[in-house]
Amino acid sequence: MLNKANPIKRLNLVLIATICIGEALIMFFLPFFGALSDILIAALDVALLLLIMIPVVKWLVTEPMMKYHRDLGSAKNTILARENQMLGALNALAAANDNETGNHIIRTQQYVKLLAQRLKIMGHHCEILTNEYIERLFKVAPLHDLGKVGIPDAILKKMGKLTADEREQINQHAMIGESILLAAQTEDSESDLIATALKITGYHHERWDGLGYPRKLVGENIPIEARIMAVADVFDALVSSRPYKRAWTIGDAYQEIVLKSGSAFDPTVVEAFIAERLNFENIAHNY
Ligand SMILES: [Fe+2]
Ligand SMILES: [Fe+2]
């Protein structure tokens, strides 16, 4: 538990006590040193004050301050451990219900990291894309299709083309995923990881031109986390085979993403994608 004692209040008390004790000492010792110079009296006063105040300050301020920082550090570690535990459980849930082929989750996670790092290098969204935040994006990217847990297998794993109604049901996965994450977010401890995951999970099917779903947001109204995820997700879907389609070549998928810059995708993210083409190819081949 955190020590709630406020070290600043304690410091104020110590300062007031120092002044009072100092004044009292000077008044008390003054008659005994009448023959000595004022400078010597002042030096003795200071020495006495220091002698008294050093252990007092240590007891009242330094030790509580150190304990406060120790408690704060251990509270942060506990929160981090709980977040990682929760993330592990949600990732397992997302992976268990993933109907995509191969290592879609791992590949898209890698693509997201590449795009975020490249955007940062290019000077885009630097205020958001710190190294720490990119690591967080990497951690939560596998949750983008978490909501598919709420879609019947008969639709999710259907061999063949989906009807309009089935497509509509699958599209619900963005909002379902969002609801699961909101339920994982407790009132008293807002998790940074969940907050970032919400931006990906609920918005990764929005399009730059406003024709996406579920909210039909336009351009920069879509969180940058989701704009990055969209390019990673679509590229991987194109180069993967499905029961109803063959895998596109990497070259064709590359052209498709570039062609849809400014319509489906954020142009700055596509710019980063172009710069990372070789790394995308490596990941597509290696995972
Ligand atoms: Fe999705
Ligand atoms: Fe996906």
Distance 227 CA to ligand 2 centre (A): 13
Same domain flag for 60 and 124: no
Distance 29 CA to ligand 1 centre (A): 81
Same domain flag for 87 and 137: no
- Closest C-alpha to 140, from 243, 46, 223: 223
Same domain flag for 13 and 108: no
The stretch 96-100 carries a mean pLDDT of 65
Tokens of 262: 């400014």
Last residue within a domain, chosen from 47, 73, 96: 96
Report yes or no: 255 and 74 within 8 Å, Cβ to Cβ. no
Same domain flag for 147 and 255: yes
- Listed residues: CB within 5 A of ion ligand 1: 145
Among 48-57, 140-149, 259-268, whose mean pLDDT is lowest?
48-57
Question: Helices 173-184 and 192-201, interaxial angle, to 10°?
Answer: 170
Position 99 pLDDT exceeds 60: no
Q: Which ligand is nearest to the CA of 141?
A: 2
Same domain flag for 152 and 185: yes
Q: Which ligand is nearest to the CA of 235?
A: 2
Backbone φ and ψ of 230, nearest 5°: -60, -45
- Closest C-alpha to 90, from 193, 192, 203, 199: 193
The tens digit of pLDDT for each residue in 160-180 reads 888 999 999 999 999 999 999
- Listed residues: CB within 5 A of ion ligand 2: 145, 233
Same domain flag for 134 and 233: yes
Collapsed DSSP state (helix, strand, coil) of residue 9: helix
Position 4 pLDDT exceeds 60: no
Q: Which ligand is nearest to the CA of 112?
A: 2
Concatenated DSSP letters for 182-239?
HHHS-SS---HHHHHHHHHHTTTT--TTS--SSS---GGGS-HHHHHHHHHHHHHHHH
Same domain flag for 115 and 197: yes
Q: Please report the pLDDT score of residue 263 as a whole number.
A: 98
Position 45 pLDDT exceeds 50: yes
Read off the pTM: 0.74
The stretch 13-21 carries a mean pLDDT of 74
Angle among Cα 182, 187, 191 to the nearest 5 degrees reads 65
Last residue within a domain, chosen from 43, 67, 96: 96
Q: Which ligand is nearest to the CA of 236?
A: 2
> Cβ of 92: how many Cβ atoms within 10 Å?
11
What is the rounded distance in angstroms from the CA atom of residue 92 to the CA atom of residue 209? 33
Q: Which ligand is nearest to the CA of 238?
A: 2
Q: Please report the pLDDT score of residue 71 as a whole number.
A: 83
Q: Which ligand is nearest to the CA of 101?
A: 2
Same domain flag for 107 and 88: no
Distance 205 CA to ligand 1 centre (A): 6
Same domain flag for 203 and 225: yes
Same domain flag for 6 and 146: no
Q: Which ligand is nearest to the CA of 232?
A: 2
State the pLDDT confidence band at 2, using cuts at 50, 70 and 90. very low
Q: Which ligand is nearest to the CA of 174?
A: 1
Structural domain of residue 6, as residue ranges? 1-96
Distance 133 CA to ligand 1 centre (A): 22
Q: How many domains does the chain have?
A: 2
**Residue 175 identity:** M
Same domain flag for 87 and 120: no
Last residue within a domain, chosen from 36, 68, 96: 96
The CATH number covering residue 111 comes to 1.10.3210.10
Q: Please report the pLDDT score of residue 89 as a whole number.
A: 80
Q: Which ligand is nearest to the CA of 170?
A: 1
Distance 229 CA to ligand 2 centre (A): 9
State the pLDDT confidence band at 1, using cuts at 50, 70 and 90. very low
Distance 188 CA to ligand 2 centre (A): 31
Distance 5 CA to ligand 2 centre (A): 48
The tens digit of pLDDT for each residue in 179-220 reads 999 988 865 556 789 999 999 999 999 999 999 999 999 999
Tokens of 46: 């200071």
Same domain flag for 107 and 132: yes
